[in-house]
Structure 1
Amino acid sequence: MARQDLEQTARALVAEGKGILAADETVPTVTKRLSALHIESTADSRRTYREMFFTTPGAGEFISGAILYDETIRQNSSSGIPLTEVLTKQGIIPGIKVDTGAKPLAGASDETVTEGLDGLRDRLKEYYGLGARFAKWRAVIRVTEQLPSSTCINVNAHALGRYAALCQEAGLVPIVEPEVLMDGGHTIERCEEVTGCVLHAVFNALYDQRIVLEQMLLKPSMIISGKSCPNQASVDEVATATLRCLRRHVPAAVPGIVFLSGGQSDVLATKHLNAINRLDLPRPWKVSFSYGRALQDQALQAWQGKAEQFQAGQQSFYHRAKCNGAAALGRYTAALEGAVAR
């Protein structure tokens, strides 16, 4: 694929007021979520769950792309159309998760390295043929007073660089996701310190791997207090620290930053995104979202696995996507949050 096409795709994924639906949960993860509502997890029920989002009328107004899992990208809709085509007809670009998960890092305690590079070139070629036009790889960084180690940061940054290079070779836009976990009691200051180190290492690795920055997106976590930290930072404090860190470490050539929600509640993730976009500071890249649970949870609760509540699930998803689309423009309000879905 020509460089111009990759840049076009990257910019389309961060179009005004739009963000990405992360629907790339593994089978065990989706099964856990469905089972919590007493929904049997089968290939058909998982397809119906994803199809609820993909066929929501008007979803393309706020959703630019959807990250799929290997099972999903191979499935047809209930009407027999490939799910990738269902998305494309909505104006939503199909993407694919390509890492095989975080595994224990040899010689380290309580740290992981993300695997999946073996055979990746051939898998990317196949996924492109199945309709994917971008990909995602997630690195996981745990925070304590001692962690992460420089080894953990560097091996994960190197893997992200190699993945991104293979994606661009295959004609796919790489979404580079270094997630600094919310788990733990660390302060927002410690989160900012670690995130800065991680982003510095990641962009060094991307430079070493000759990544064309205009052809990629960054999917970072926000600068936020650890879940068990007794002093939880305010929405404005999170916004200020997050934008400060990004301005220091993310090159201007990158078209966009699409945050992960990382375990935040759906409403809080929207509030944080909105506050970041409302800050009166220059930023060279678009700032949007690539949320999973923060887009799906309300819809899952509304649907409950019942055919007669399928439309209610779609209405809930549309409302959540609309709120996040507004937050990507800094226009989210309490009135919009409280509005009844269409």
Structure 2
Amino acid sequence: MQANQLEKIKNGKGFIAALDQSGGSTPKALAGYGVSEDAYSNEEEMFDLVHEMRTRIITSPAFDSTHILGAILFEQTMDREIEGQYTADYLADKKGIVPFLKVDKGLAEASNGVQLMKPIHDLDETLRRANERHIFGTKMRSVIKEANPEGIKAVVDQQFEIGQQIIEAGLVPIIEPEVDIYSNDKEKSEQILKDEILAHLNKLDDKDNVMLKLSIPTVANTYKELIDHPRVVRVVALSGGYSRDEANEKLKENDGLIASFSRALSADLNVNQTDEEFNAALRDAVESIYDASVNKK
């Protein structure tokens, strides 16, 4: 891990771009970009097209380190190249942006009001390759749908157990227990979640660091105690289905919380835009998300 990358993520001004839609969500991501399913006939062609989309985003002049601290990649993106360099090296060397890798294999069936992560059987091998590809940190997602204390505890236990394995591989895990924004008892879930996360943070060794990726809380600054915790490098927020404008407005109310948006970042981008139109749309998104991450109410 490079000390300057840790410093940038910990104290830099900006946000983290989430470019990590995986196999199941790729058709939806491509459709949003204006590429329909009849444009590809197999998975290989689909992943070629999504890499073209991500390459266009990453190489855009609007995608810059003035506004963006890091970018989360899908495993296939890590293994592919942009302008003759592996994606993580291109991000770090050409853009000054810190690369992260999504490592989870998707969600298990709902139980106790939550969805745990499916088993990650090849995690050691993935982490070895991530180190080879100069990845700084990882990301893995669970989902909380109800304020079920047993379920939420299971989510956080699983996240930190796998997080410890990631720390031991020399990477910084982004722990992402997403609370569904449409949950009927979202605020109650967030309080239980905060307490469970704090209990785990307080058990970490002084040399162990994590990041957190959380839904924007119902009550502003609910997560301030987590943001200020010495074992937390940074707390980032997902857009979670909010429109960009709504996510930005909610984000501004939370001191120290920065964005890690996916759909809200790329919603206005289209395959048929000219480069000028594409770069202008991306620049508008980047600047508004940066503003919400840096300038608080």
What letter is aligned with 1:296?
S
Distance 1:60 1:132 in 2: 17
Larger radius of gyration between Structure 1 and Structure 2: 1
Match of 2:75?
70
Counting aligned pairs with the same residue, the percent is 22
Distance 2:236 2:208 in 1: 14
What letter is aligned with 1:260?
L
Alignment check: 8 A CA contact 1:73 1:130 kept: yes
**Is the partner of 2:71 in helix, strand or coil?**
strand
Q: CA deviation at 1:71?
A: 1.0
Q: Which runs of 5+ in 2 are unaligned?
A: 41-45
Match of 2:216?
222
Deviation per residue, 1:180-208 (Å, 9 max, x gap): 10124x2xxx3222101012112323444
Distance 1:170 1:212 in 2: 16
Match of 2:220?
242
What letter is aligned with 2:28?
K
Summarize the Cα distance change of 1:294–1:322 in structure 2 as closer, same or farther, 3 Å threshold.
same
1:196 is the counterpart of 2:209: no
1:60 is the counterpart of 2:65: yes
Deviation per residue, 1:113-145 (Å, 9 max, x gap): 1124433223212111112111111120003xx
**Is the partner of 2:254 in helix, strand or coil?**
helix
Distance 1:43 1:329 in 2: 34
Distance 1:290 1:130 in 2: 22
> What pairs up with 1:35-50 in 2 under 5 angstroms?
35=31, 37-39=34-36, 40=39, 42-50=46-54
Distance 1:211 1:31 in 2: 41
Summarize the Cα distance change of 1:133–1:16 in structure 2 as closer, same or farther, 3 Å threshold.
closer
Q: CA deviation at 1:214?
A: 6.6
What letter is aligned with 1:320?
A
Q: Which runs of 5+ in 1 are unaligned?
A: 225-240, 278-285, 333-342
Q: CA deviation at 1:211?
A: 5.3
What letter is aligned with 1:216?
V
Alignment check: 8 A CA contact 2:138 2:174 kept: yes
Match of 1:274?
252
1:293 is the counterpart of 2:263: yes
Match of 2:139 among 136, 139, 152: 136
Summarize the Cα distance change of 1:171–1:19 in structure 2 as closer, same or farther, 3 Å threshold.
same
**Is the partner of 2:294 in helix, strand or coil?**
coil
Summarize the Cα distance change of 1:273–1:150 in structure 2 as closer, same or farther, 3 Å threshold.
closer
1:104 is the counterpart of 2:109: yes
Distance 2:8 2:169 in 1: 18
Summarize the Cα distance change of 1:110–1:201 in structure 2 as closer, same or farther, 3 Å threshold.
closer
**Is the partner of 2:223 in helix, strand or coil?**
helix
Q: CA deviation at 1:261?
A: 0.7
What letter is aligned with 2:223?
L
Match of 2:20 among 19, 24, 27: 24
Q: CA deviation at 1:276?
A: 2.5
Distance 2:274 2:10 in 1: 31
Q: CA RMSD in A?
A: 2.4
Distance 2:99 2:289 in 1: 19
Distance 1:192 1:248 in 2: 16
TM-score by length of 1: 0.76
